[in-house]
Structure 1
Amino acid sequence: MKIIQISDCHLFADNQKVGYNNINPFQSLKHILAEVKTQQPDVLLITGDISGDGSGQSYQHFSGLIHETKIDCQIGIIPGNHDNQAQLKANVFEKYLWLNNPRIVLPNQWHIHLLDTQYQQSIGRISVDSLTSLAEYLSQHTHDYHLLATHHHAVPCGGWMDKHEWKNRQMFNTIVAKNPSIKGVVYGHIHMAIEQQIDQCLYMACPSTCWQFANQETFATNDLMPGYRVINLLKNGQINTFTVRIKEPI
């Protein structure tokens, strides 16, 4: 099964507005969604920060692009630290949201879990109830395979984004370590592509669909192009993944 992950779209109410590196996030997302359609994914995952300003218009722009592109697949959305949940719920199809469909069950024994780590400003936290529900579900499906989707990074990236951390990530990682059926964790937030294998689990960060962050001690962007992640979930529980970046400036 082919999963495409996009993240950190940072759309504005004004779809002509540009951000870092003179990138227009609306135009870059439009370009990426057109590419994603050609990939013919089974699932499109959006791992937070659809909006950069929390405005209703930004979510309307997102919904408009999804409708215009006509991507024919399941869609799962979780919130990021910049997202306004009230506006997200009001302006994006309910069937896409983690609140209404917290899991996507695929026909090849894979389960995708949509988890909310939004907490305070840029800091992340997952609720105890969510962790309890996750652990119970995993105990009932130990012979299947599981991919967990979050916004915040559950493992350090080694740069300035570690200041914008996930407060109780150790509780989350303990569940991952105790459940060998969890084969992957995907996340956004850090605007860069990183892969880390820890025991049985592959942790995968996603490029932003707009500007990319440099992984250094102090805030900086870099000149890498916007992109997305392709994740192939295989029948034997293995994961094949790579990132794709658009080739021309938007």
Structure 2
Amino acid sequence: MTVVRRQPSRHDLPWSYHAAIGAIRPVLQAVTRRDWAGGEHLPAEGGFIVAANHYSEVDPVTLAHFLVDHGHPPFFLAKSSLFEVPVLGAALNHLQQVPVYRASSRAGDALVAAREAVQGGRCIAIMPEGTLTRDPDLWPMRAKPGVGRLALSSGAPVVPVAQWGAQRILGRYARRPGNLFARPVQQVLAGPAVDLSDLRDRPDDPRAHTEATTRIMAAITAQLAILRGEQPPERPHEHQEGGG
């Protein structure tokens, strides 16, 4: 197990964020074992984007654990529907998370808010797939170009992070947690920032957004292949909205 001494936060946080850390972190410490690597790739200064794979409802929490303990409490881009849930929505707003409005006239609001946050020095975390992967073996699937658009419009570095093990806490679409007494291992591996230097002068080009997103997802998949010790599919799974 990798031992990481928790680093102090590099950001001013609302009291609710401190409260959430105080409530959730001890539980994760108790019910999981951690195998973390790559923390040196998280920038020491300035805002940046963390892009990670998404295969369990709890993997945003395990990702946050990794980032909090490395001194970078994340601010997530989350589906706007979550902000409409009583209590949860109020909590997300107070935690200063960023709603994503899909297929609506407000779809650009998340980009503006996320760009302002990252340019203000914050760590913005995003699961570019936008939903749990539909790949049958839980490999990352093809993502929408939002992360590439954010990266190029903000100029911020993008750190690819792969994680594996959250499905042992709560499997995809499962209603009940797994055997927490077994203290499942949570693996997290951060890689070097994705090279987007040749695309930076095309922040408004949709083709550049797509190419940037493809590179980011390839980097995440490569990190995940290291964690799993397996070969990923030659092509990422294509998810059709409304399909399985």
Report the TM-score, using the length of structure 1 for normalisation.
Answer: 0.32
More contact order relative to length (CA 8 Å, sep ≥ 6): 2
Greater share of helix: 2
Scaled by the length of structure 2, what TM-score is found?
Answer: 0.33
